Structure 1
Amino acid sequence: MIAQSLRSTLVNSSQLLRRAGLIGSLTPFLFGCSSVIHDHPPLLGSQLTVQQAVDKIRLGLEDSLRHPVPSLNVLIQTPNTRVFASSVPGGQSPVRETDHFRFASITKHFTATAMLNMHEDGWVNYKAKITDLIPGTQTPYVPNTSDWDFPYKNQITIEQLLQHRAGVFDVDNDSVPGYNRQSYTEYTQLADPTHQFTTEEMVRQLIVHKLSYFAPGTAYHYSNTGYSILGKIIARVYSIKSGSEKTYQDYMRDYIVGATATVPLLSIHFPGRADDTVLPIPRVEGLELLPGNVQKRYGDYNMSAQVGEGNGYGTMADLHTYIRSLMKGQNVLMPETVKRMQLDDLGGSFRANLGYEKNGARIGNIAVIAYDPLTDVSVVAYLPLWDLTEGKDGEISFGKCINALYDAAYAARSALGYPGKP
């Protein structure tokens, strides 16, 4: 079953990629034959077992899609071993765990961690309404102005935003009236790829068109815009507590991933400026396949519309260090807060035989991070491919890509003797 974040992405999958700038579009798809040849020494033991398992999943996806798959990559750690496997077509260099890539909505997990860290420090109360006052101040979490008077604002809690239960309409994924059946962010960025987005302008769409999914707390609907609002709250709180103007990116650097963080993760960044578009080298670029043999690669682009919900990039190695250390209570959050994060689906959700996980899919990339507290097994899986050639809006072939990503994570677990796909 496709996870909710990926399911909502799939609804507008062909649209989502078009809002980003791209490089190397309409380039030939040259991967050679599909025999498995890897540029590394002979593999032994656990490394060989996991590599063969991931190879099998990639080759199965190639057979199903009827074309080469650029790579399928898994990093897994158990109490006794750590293995990285990159499966690529013959003659291609494997992806490295230190290559940078866009990890999309996995950003939301970092946002949830940041909010809970602020909660531990007494800077926020994540159970509070977003119109309540920031602790120790006379300032509300979101501005008390007409520019922020969107539907149900007075009833929404921070926790509901974290859980996608606030009913906030998603102007990044769903079509907005007056924008040619496109989302607001897609339409705007197609018109101007250099446009600097703000949370305020996205919230304005909720107000102008009176957009909402449901009354807060009554249902579930994935919302990028809801997490953009969380990013804005983090920036407001940090600005007040530090005594100077701060951004979401500042807090993430200073407390969650930067050199002064509990566990520094120096490859991970959350760009918020429209002119901060470059994905560092070494890097992996996402590939999109469209009907009619149209192929596009995505690397450098404007992520200012996705602050707090999908703007992150980094390496598989640092993503793995993050999820494993955090879930084991060895990072910025205390063990009791980590338990609450898991039980209440704050920033992620549970999946059988993977544990607490978060996935992301955007701009030719699909990834998942997971930690299983029952077995002490952590895993990161990454596929730099969106195939949108089969089914309405590509849902059939895109679904195959998602399934292969999860199958690779499960196969790696099985290869090391742990429960695999249910």
Structure 2
Amino acid sequence: MMTIIKIIGVVVLVLVAAIGFLYWLSSKPIMKDQAISDIKGIADKSINDKKSIYSALVYIDAPQKDLTVKYAAGESNGEKIKTDQPFHVASVGKQFTATLIGRLIDEGKIKLHDPVGLYLDDALLDNLFVFKGVDYKDLVTIQQLLSHTSGVADYFALKDNGLMESLYQTPDKFFTPQELVKYTQEHQTAYFAPGNGYHYSDTGYILLGLIIESATKKPFHENLHEVIFDPLSMKDTYLMFYSEPQNGKRPIAEAWVNGHEISQFQSVSIDWAGGGVISTLDDLAVYIRALYQGRIISPETLEALNQFDYEFIPGIAYGNGFMQMQFDKFMPTLRFLPKMTGHMGVLGTQLFYDAATDMVYVSSLGSSDATAASVQTMIQTLSTVYRIK
């Protein structure tokens, strides 16, 4: 559910925040109790009614500092939000799709650089990859879909004449994966020939979900549960509209898009393999740690997915289904922060991991206006951790 539209201005905002924050960093180191209090205060300050940010969920586990903080601020559904509240993960879910592709690579069912035409019908690929009169559908690879370098447009993004506003304009509309691909076929055009650029595309991830179904002969949601959710006992995690969590469904945290609360709308089906998962702070932390511990896919395959050769925006590099936060590119004086790997989503959602220290960071601010705030909250939280004596 991520879109470049919601990231516009994030670099400027984060830089301004970082400049002011550096003055605060110049103070002396702090004790762990003070750090916990400060992290909770950072979450509290992220609440902003003017930007439809009514709640904040933050989780940080930093073994190198013997620190774990799980905190909920604000309200959702008329009640104080809880730390175990399920929420829409948005494009954080692209990591799950990439992980399933990784498992299929390990099992020898697909290869990273296979042409997508090996798994998808020609009719499904028609008019998706036509650039300057040339149809490149036979040249597009799985890796290019993962890395957003296939050239395909994004059915979601407003700048692509996408469907983002449909979330609240047609709330009762249920979108199938095939309908989403068809929208790109009929209403959008490719941005470049495969491999000749970078353009973030949810359409590409719908195609990846369909490739997973083709290679396994199983629905996408069954793959999620069999490969990731069930083995890791992620009992509150599921694909909305398609599956059930082991613990049973509970109220989902509010999700605000352009000032509209959309968490229960049928139109949220617009996500699917691009970010349609519901999860919790704890479940996401379990997943990303297991992933980097080699418990889901092989280290070799994960390394291939974690080649960060593309730029999402300055300060955020993109690989094959994963982002890397490169804080020194936001502000050189932030180079003391690690290069966290994971993904972020349009609802101010974050899931990142530092393999060197086994540190996990998870958050959700529940609003499409919270992208800059979520990055700022992450920087401030991590910086607080690194001040602990």
Q: Is the 8 A contact 1:72 1:405 kept in 2?
A: no
Provide the rounded CA distance (Å) in 1 between the counterparts of 2:107 and 2:83: 33
CA deviation after TM superposition for structure 1 residue 107, in Å: 1.2
Q: Which residue of 1 aligns with 2:274?
A: 309
Q: Give the letter aligned to residue 104 of structure 1.
A: A
Q: Is the 8 A contact 1:249 1:272 kept in 2?
A: no
Q: Which residue of 2 aligns with 1:405?
A: 374
Determine if the alignment matches structure 1 residue 355 to structure 2 residue 346: no
Match runs of 1:43-192 below 5 Å: 46=32, 49-56=35-42, 58-59=44-45, 62=48, 69-79=53-63, 80-88=66-74, 95-131=81-117, 140-144=118-122, 146-150=123-127, 151=129, 152-174=136-158, 182-184=161-163, 186=165, 190=169
Provide the rounded CA distance (Å) in 2 between the counterparts of 1:68 and 1:249: 31
Q: 1:198 to 1:324 in 2, by over 3 A?
A: same
What SS does the aligned partner of 2:114 have?
A: coil
Determine if the alignment matches structure 1 residue 7 to structure 2 residue 18: no
Match runs of 1:143-292 below 5 Å: 143-144=121-122, 146-150=123-127, 151=129, 152-174=136-158, 182-184=161-163, 186=165, 190=169, 193-209=171-187, 211-239=189-217, 246-258=218-230, 261=231, 263-272=232-241, 280-287=249-256, 290=259
CA deviation after TM superposition for structure 1 residue 159, in Å: 0.4
CA deviation after TM superposition for structure 1 residue 101, in Å: 0.6
Write 1 or 2 for the structure with the bigger share of helix: 2
Give the TM-score normalised by the residue count of structure 1: 0.70
Provide the rounded CA distance (Å) in 2 between the counterparts of 1:407 and 1:327: 25
Q: Give the letter aligned to residue 367 of structure 2.
A: L
Q: Give the letter aligned to residue 240 of structure 2.
A: P
Q: Which residue of 2 aligns with 1:395?
A: none
Q: Give the letter aligned to residue 301 of structure 1.
A: F
Determine if the alignment matches structure 1 residue 337 to structure 2 residue 301: yes
Q: Which residue of 1 aligns with 2:359?
A: 377
Q: Which residue of 1 aligns with 2:291?
A: 326
| CA root-mean-square deviation | 3.2
What SS does the aligned partner of 1:217 have?
A: coil
What SS does the aligned partner of 1:266 have?
A: coil
Provide the rounded CA distance (Å) in 2 between the counterparts of 1:70 and 1:206: 33
Deviations 1:104-149 (A, max 9, x none): 1111110000001111011111211111xxxxxxxx31113x3432
Q: 1:187 to 1:413 in 2, by over 3 A?
A: closer
CA deviation after TM superposition for structure 1 residue 69, in Å: 4.8
Q: Is the 8 A contact 1:54 1:408 kept in 2?
A: no
Q: 1:206 to 1:73 in 2, by over 3 A?
A: closer
Q: Give the letter aligned to residue 162 of structure 2.
A: S
Provide the rounded CA distance (Å) in 2 between the counterparts of 1:55 and 1:255: 37
Provide the rounded CA distance (Å) in 1 between the counterparts of 2:237 and 2:4: 25
Q: Is the 8 A contact 2:60 2:362 kept in 1?
A: yes
Q: Give the letter aligned to residue 337 of structure 1.
A: T
Provide the rounded CA distance (Å) in 2 between the counterparts of 1:406 and 1:209: 33
What SS does the aligned partner of 1:153 have?
A: coil
What SS does the aligned partner of 2:261 have?
A: strand
Q: 1:412 to 1:166 in 2, by over 3 A?
A: same
Q: Give the letter aligned to residue 141 of structure 1.
A: Y
Provide the rounded CA distance (Å) in 2 between the counterparts of 1:168 and 1:158: 13
What count of residue pairs does the alignment treat as equivalent? 331
Q: 1:201 to 1:7 in 2, by over 3 A?
A: closer
Q: 1:148 to 1:342 in 2, by over 3 A?
A: closer
Tell me, which stretches of 5 or more residues in structure 2 are unaligned? 9-30, 130-135, 309-318, 327-337
Q: Which residue of 2 aligns with 1:37?
A: none
Provide the rounded CA distance (Å) in 2 between the counterparts of 1:171 and 1:185: 8
What SS does the aligned partner of 1:232 have?
A: helix
Q: Which has the higher contact order (CA 8 A, sep 6+)?
A: 2
Deviations 1:125-183 (A, max 9, x none): 1211111xxxxxxxx31113x3432322111000000001111111222467xxxxx52
Deviations 1:73-97 (A, max 9, x none): 21111223322122348xx975333
Give the TM-score normalised by the residue count of structure 2: 0.75
CA deviation after TM superposition for structure 1 residue 304, in Å: 2.8
What SS does the aligned partner of 2:250 have?
A: coil
Provide the rounded CA distance (Å) in 1 between the counterparts of 2:287 and 2:124: 36
Q: Give the letter aligned to residue 139 of structure 2.
A: Q
Provide the rounded CA distance (Å) in 1 between the counterparts of 2:376 and 2:167: 36
Q: Which residue of 1 aligns with 2:383?
A: 414
Provide the rounded CA distance (Å) in 2 between the counterparts of 1:373 and 1:142: 35
CA deviation after TM superposition for structure 1 residue 370, in Å: 0.4
Q: Give the letter aligned to residue 197 of structure 1.
A: F
Q: Give the letter aligned to residue 367 of structure 1.
A: T
